[in-house]
A and B are shown apart, each in its own frame.
Chain A
Amino acid sequence: MDGLLISLISLGVTGLFILGVPIFLVISFWVIGVSLVIDFTLANIGVTLYEGLNFYGLLALPLFILTGDLINAAGIAKRLSDFAYACLGFMRGGLGMASLGACGMFAAISGSNSATTATIGSIMHPEMKKGGYDEEFAAATVAAGGCVGIIIPPSIIFIVYGFMMNLPIGDLFLAGMIPGTLMVVAMMATCWFLSRRNGWGHLIKFSPKRIIKTGSKAWLGFLAMGIVLFGLSTGAFSPTEAAGVTTGFCLLAGLLITRQFGLKDLPKIMMRSGQITGMLAPLIAVSVVMQQVLSLLGAKAFLTGVITSLGGFYPILFACMAIVFVAGTVLESLPVTVILAPILAPIAASIGVDPIQFAVIFLVGASIGFITPPYGLNLYVASGMTGIPYLRIVKHVVPYLIALTLTWFAIALIPGISLWILS
């Protein structure tokens, strides 16, 4: 009887999701409904909405979000984009590839996929449109480029994953470096191939002078990346402290060096970051409650039984990846991580996958979810920013999706891609 009721509740909340009810409420109502069915106290919600956010490491999330907005406001993101264009503009598809490269560099200072798409997209999409690219392809390029935001360190989702699974966040960050770079390279190759085939983009002359000039202008961006990398690789700061220092650095850079914003602009910048934090933090808290209820239902034991019954290393690994991929098509990466990581990580560990490598496999899969319909957040951001209908961007994002999926399999099958840097 309980099983039937829980199935009906799950169907009901799926209906709410399709009807456009906020995801926070969709998850909340599943939690309330199932808690009532299994006679689990609702007081747990009151406690977990505090306890779910009560972790020092989680503070890196709002700080890296703010860093992203400060880099943009300080003009550092624009300078990094100019440098990427100077390096790649001489090739067919160079501007598109520069957009992807700029996404990678932005991701190395900030830690959010949607912020990467929004920031680099607002700078590079108009340039690509002017530069002879199909505007729908240009929107798809910045949407796909944003996927490395959470893989190249620092990363908001790595922080959440480390928090949930009790793994060293610094190690997770370092493990994401090569896979993130590989994702950028795979997308650049896709962009080059498509641009060459369709004759998109105007070429600029290869000029070392221009590269040096734009590179020297982008020094603040490189320094910000250096601070994060130095802090994490030497252990001088924790990820949260690295986030605090980078935020402070970008603030001072914008106020005193580039002077692109003043003190009076700070509330507006902080409100933008606060709005994104206010979207993500409640989702984390309520996903923690959902995870607890799933544990009570025995979902972990059930799913473990089903997956391990497949037998063998590869079927189990691919089943875990398939679950992450499917969940990523309908859920935001945070709930996917909070709900599925505690279930799938022990299964992967039981077949001998290194926990850090599995974290990277898991999060690259969750990251691909940012451009998979029906729920692809980066596609929404690109659509909202460019005014191009969502479904038209989806059509052009498919080649990037294939490239990223192939890269994902390479990351899953070759542990060295994630773990070499740690050794």
Chain B
Amino acid sequence: MHKSMGKAFYWAFQNIEKFFIILSYGSMTAIIFIEVIRRFLFNEQSAWSTTIPIYLFLWLAWMGASYNTQKRSHLRFTEMRQRLSYGAQFSCLILDTVLWFVMGAVVIYFSVEQVYISYDNFSIVQGTDDVMQWWFYLATPCAWTLLLIRVVQNLVSDYQDFKAGRPLAVQAATFGD
């Protein structure tokens, strides 16, 4: 029982980004499509149809960034890294990890501040009565926290590959699964 719950939790955790990406992408597309059709056919459109999609895009963009980290598919120039020695390639992977953590610390620290300011000011999404802006601003710190967890997961996997002498993940996957 515990084992299957653990498995389910692990599966859910590994797919958090997918859940947010599909939810935000689907809602954003549906709102824009339906509201244009409504305006075209019935001459009416909701005021929030041009604001909520912008905020949904924040979740899509930053969860997408985390997903690309998980899949190692961020844009990069890989020609030189592929030609380095095995040890140097592993060092480059450690360098990536360190850089992600420094950037992550900066982004999380300052974006939490922004979320707090928005929360403290009771900022409401334009065109709505009770949809809070901070629900959407939360996307950046949440996605970056997740991104850093993916960085650690990748490093653990790289270390295991390195110890076993398996090829390291130095080829950028432009289009993943």
B68/A275 in contact, CB under 8 A:
yes
B174/A278 in contact, CB under 8 A:
no
- A49 vs B103: C-alpha distance in the bound complex, in angstroms? 12
- A32 vs B110: C-alpha distance in the bound complex, in angstroms? 13
B96 at the binding interface (Cβ < 8 Å): yes
- Residues of chain B lying within 8 A (CB to CB) of residue A332: 75
CB of A328 to closest CB in B, whole Å: 13
Interface stretch (choices B1-9, B57-65, B157-165): B57-65
B 64-114 contacts with A by CB, 8 A: 64-68, 71, 73-82, 92, 95-96, 99-100, 102-103, 106-107, 109-111, 113-114
CB of A230 to closest CB in B, whole Å: 11
- A380 vs B22: C-alpha distance in the bound complex, in angstroms? 27
- Residues of chain B lying within 8 A (CB to CB) of residue A281: 57, 60-61, 64-65
A18/B28 in contact, CB under 8 A:
no
- Residues of chain A lying within 8 A (CB to CB) of residue B25: 62, 66, 270, 273-274, 277
A46/B81 in contact, CB under 8 A:
no
CB of B85 to closest CB in A, whole Å: 13
B170 at the binding interface (Cβ < 8 Å): yes
A245/B64 in contact, CB under 8 A:
no
| With contact pairs A22-B74, A24-B74, A118-B175 given, residues A278 and B63 touching in the complex (Cβ less than 8 Å) | yes
CB of A57 to closest CB in B, whole Å: 10
A279/B68 in contact, CB under 8 A:
yes
| With contact pairs A46-B109, A118-B175, A247-B29 given, residues A270 and B22 touching in the complex (Cβ less than 8 Å) | yes
A 245-284 contacts with B by CB, 8 A: 245, 247-248, 267-268, 270-279, 281-283
B122 at the binding interface (Cβ < 8 Å): no
A53 at the binding interface (Cβ < 8 Å): yes
- A391 vs B174: C-alpha distance in the bound complex, in angstroms? 17
CB of B71 to closest CB in A, whole Å: 7
A28/B22 in contact, CB under 8 A:
no
B10 at the binding interface (Cβ < 8 Å): no
A240 at the binding interface (Cβ < 8 Å): yes
| With contact pairs A23-B75, A279-B74 given, residues A272 and B110 touching in the complex (Cβ less than 8 Å) | no
- A205 vs B142: C-alpha distance in the bound complex, in angstroms? 59
- How many residues does chain B have at the interface if contact means C-beta atoms less than 8 Å apart? 60
CB of B35 to closest CB in A, whole Å: 8
CB of A28 to closest CB in B, whole Å: 5
- A43 vs B117: C-alpha distance in the bound complex, in angstroms? 13
B177 at the binding interface (Cβ < 8 Å): yes
- Residues of chain B lying within 8 A (CB to CB) of residue A381: 174-175
A50 at the binding interface (Cβ < 8 Å): yes
A 1-24 contacts with B by CB, 8 A: 16-24
- A76 vs B14: C-alpha distance in the bound complex, in angstroms? 33
- Select B22's contact among A18, A243, A271, A278, beta carbons within 8 Å: A271
| With contact pairs A59-B28, A59-B57 given, residues A16 and B99 touching in the complex (Cβ less than 8 Å) | yes
- Residues of chain A lying within 8 A (CB to CB) of residue B71: 275
- A50 vs B54: C-alpha distance in the bound complex, in angstroms? 10
| With contact pairs A270-B22, A276-B175, A282-B65 given, residues A42 and B32 touching in the complex (Cβ less than 8 Å) | no
A127 at the binding interface (Cβ < 8 Å): no
B79/A390 in contact, CB under 8 A:
yes
- Select B113's contact among A46, A282, A390, beta carbons within 8 Å: A46
- Residues of chain B lying within 8 A (CB to CB) of residue A267: 18, 22
Residue of B nearest to A43 (CB): B110
- A45 vs B95: C-alpha distance in the bound complex, in angstroms? 22
Residue of B nearest to A285 (CB): B61
Residue of B nearest to A52 (CB): B61
A420 at the binding interface (Cβ < 8 Å): no
A49, A54, A58, A278: most-surrounded residue (chain B CB, <10 A) = A278
What are 9 pairs between A and B in contact, CB < 8 Å?
A24-B65, A43-B113, A46-B113, A46-B114, A241-B36, A248-B37, A271-B67, A275-B64, A275-B73
Q: A45-B106, A271-B21, A279-B75 are in contact. List 15 more A-B contacts (CB 8 A).
A: A20-B81, A21-B96, A22-B76, A25-B74, A28-B103, A32-B102, A45-B110, A59-B32, A63-B32, A66-B29, A248-B37, A271-B177, A275-B64, A277-B25, A277-B64
The 3 tightest CB contacts between A and B, nearest first, are A278-B64, A46-B110, A244-B32
**Residues of A that sit less than 8 Å from B by CB:** 16-25, 28-29, 32, 42-43, 45-47, 49-50, 53-56, 58-59, 62-63, 66, 114, 118, 236-237, 240-241, 243-245, 247-248, 267-268, 270-279, 281-283, 285, 332, 374-375, 377, 380-381, 384, 390
